[in-house]
Amino acid sequence: MEITELDAPPIADRCPFSRDFGPDFHDCIAYTQEEFTALDTRYKPLRPVATCRHLAIGAEATGGFYPRCSLGTAEERATWAQQVGPDRLRELRDLSLEYRTWVAGLMPHVWESKGRLLAARSDNRDITAAADELREQVDGLLAAAGEWIDSQAARISAVGLDAGVLKELIAMATENWVESPHAGMGYQVPDHVLEKFPTQIQVFIRAGR
């Protein structure tokens, strides 16, 4: 017998929240804000949108799609948040938001440069100038990231992160994005880097892998 949408059982890992994840959103215990910047068909960056790090696309049995929480059910979200530690999770969220505020003035230029590089590749043009421009913008971004990490070293250490390892991780993820032929961030933290973090931080990072 064919199952219709009305007959289908509720999907346990469906995100039950509105996707309007503003700065004051605290309804989900596992919510971890992330910014998503898309490029239009002419490789121009669109306005960044706040989303959740755990929000994914799920496929329904009827052939449709739904907003899926990659952590799983409400119980699994609560378990994950407890494993990371509520206070640690809250501080990680605050640090992430403060970092994005710190580099907010640089990010539009970085995205515009990446868009120009992708456009040059798509048109089979010489990418040297675009690649050099992106390299300059990324160097400025990494310098700003290092400055911010140094300024917040005590707080970063308190949540279980090593400032030096965090700089290494940001540099590796950024370089991976620079070399990627796509606009999206698809970087996965290597196990040999992940193992440098305490268990709770590993749990936090693995949730985005």
CA distance 175 to 196: 20
Instruction: Write down the domain spans for the chain.
Output: 33-206
Single-letter code of the amino acid located at 187: Y
CA distance 56 to 53: 8
pTM: 0.84
pLDDT the model gives residue 205: 85
pLDDT the model gives residue 6: 45
Which residue, chain included where needed, has tokens 């868009």?
Answer: 115
Residue-wise pLDDT tens for the chain (209 aa)?
343 444 456 799 999 998 778 778 889 999 998 888 889 989 999 998 889 999 999 999 888 999 999 999 999 999 999 999 999 999 999 999 999 999 999 999 999 999 999 999 999 999 999 999 999 999 999 999 999 999 999 999 999 999 999 999 899 989 999 998 888 766 678 888 888 888 999 899 887 65
Q: How many C-beta neighbours within 10 Å does residue 75 have? A: 9
CA distance 46 to 96: 21
pLDDT the model gives residue 207: 79
CA distance 10 to 7: 9
Alpha helices for 60-195 (secondary structure H): 74-84, 86-102, 107-122, 128-151, 153-158, 163-179, 191-194
